[in-house]
Structure 1
């Protein structure tokens, strides 16, 4: 799928394309991260149980840490917005960040509830599996799946989380991100090869995303798994921002022009109705 239109991107993105950049996922990270996470969570629990801001020494004593270690950990939490420094003595207390995360999760649960009837109707209409996905940071997360495609075995969800470039739901979201966000997703996840059809070069992905924006749908044409095709489209909120995507999955042996058009029509019309519904409900 190629398209000669311009991406209208930033200079850095164009430079990467010019370099013929190829991205690969980095290796596993090492270090005593488990101990650090445990200590950070302990400090969050201590702060949550305190009615007033705690000074560094008091926080360190309650957490059973030396002041230096406590300082490094709490400053990381401050930098990430989970802890605030307040008052004359610059004591530490929890921010509202944790509440925001809970509200975000609740919002996505609400989204799944809102879209489920339409997704169920599309799955029944097509006789194929239909899924809803959202972007968490740089990871693609399947929030809902309805139905099952005959002769199609679902791909491991862990693999799909970093495979936005090789999935219809991923490309349907990726196409509408700012250039800087596209680069961040690619840099963190890589452009790993899953089949002979997977797009692994940046210029090829940029060309593909042009197609998505121009035509209003994305296709995974056996790019994540041999024998499996997916068609995806973006869902927008009342402000026009892309907040999720849906896709339908079917076996590649069905992939005639007529059947593909049939699936594309069903997916794009459902995505449009859901976007209109979210706009009306001011989700």
Structure 2
């Protein structure tokens, strides 16, 4: 047991040495002096506890949110945050609705930044929530490439009716995925009478985060819906262009 703890710290220190460069399983195993199978089992636990973040299947590992939050370091996905924060502040000021920046972490939608509006009634949402049960999470799942989408579905299963009522069967699931991809955004009306819109933030052609706006159903008029979607998509495009260097 003591050896496993030592190896976990070895892994954490190796990944932290270059926090912005994902490390492959092979690299980590060699650095920690472990065989790949043993290393994978230790890292699986570290991912589940959010100390490591698997960037994508076979794309390597970076420090997870818990590794940053434990030390009070707010630089998780620092490059994305620095680009997105001022644009998100402007989006919230224009719409007077709260907006979130989220990433996919396992089967969870993880908020890495939020801007709160000045409305007397504000929508509250947890930092982590099942990806199927939020507009931002559905967007991130839908924009996985086809191979990664199949792996995600096989690993975490189809949505239950409580999480995503319209996507509980395999044909329905893929139909919903196609709908999100075709229109370029995800939409959710929750049982708590909360409306959510989520769009993708890209670096090059890869989705790296979701930008979303949430508001109570009673404020979701046709005029407000049009304004939210237009400004949300425009803001995400500005952030994406900055991340891409355009």
Larger Rg: 1
Q: Could you tell me the TM-score, scaled by structure 1's length?
A: 0.60
The alignment yields a C-alpha RMSD, in angstroms, of 3.4
Which of 171, 176, 184 is matched with 2:151 structurally? 184
Greater RCO (CA < 8 Å, at least 6 residues apart): 1
- How much has 1:170 moved relative to structure 2? 1.2
What are the within-5 Å matches in structure 2 for residues 243-258 of structure 1? 243-258=208-223
Q: Does 1:173 align with 2:140?
A: yes
- How much has 1:81 moved relative to structure 2? 9.5
Closer, same or farther: CA 213–130 of 1 in aligned 2, 3 Å: same
What are the within-5 Å matches in structure 2 for residues 1-283 of structure 1? 39-45=3-9, 76-79=37-40, 101-102=62-63, 108-148=77-117, 150-158=120-128, 160=129, 162=130, 164-190=131-157, 191-194=159-162, 199-222=167-190, 225-237=191-203, 239-280=204-245
Closer, same or farther: CA 150–268 of 1 in aligned 2, 3 Å: farther
Asked whether the 8 Å contact 2:103–2:110 carries over to 1, the reply is yes
Number of matched pairs: 201
SS at match of 1:249: strand
Q: Could you tell me the TM-score, scaled by structure 2's length?
A: 0.68
Q: Distance in 2 between matches of 1:233 and 1:44?
A: 36
Deviation per CA, 1:33-73: give whole Å up to 9, x if none.
Answer: xxx5x641223557999xxxxxxxxxxxxxxxxxxxxx9x8
SS at match of 2:77: helix
Q: Stretches of 4+ moved more than 6 A in 1?
A: 46-49
User: Which consecutive residues of structure 2, in runs of 5 or more, have no partner in the other structure?
Assistant: 14-32, 44-59, 69-74
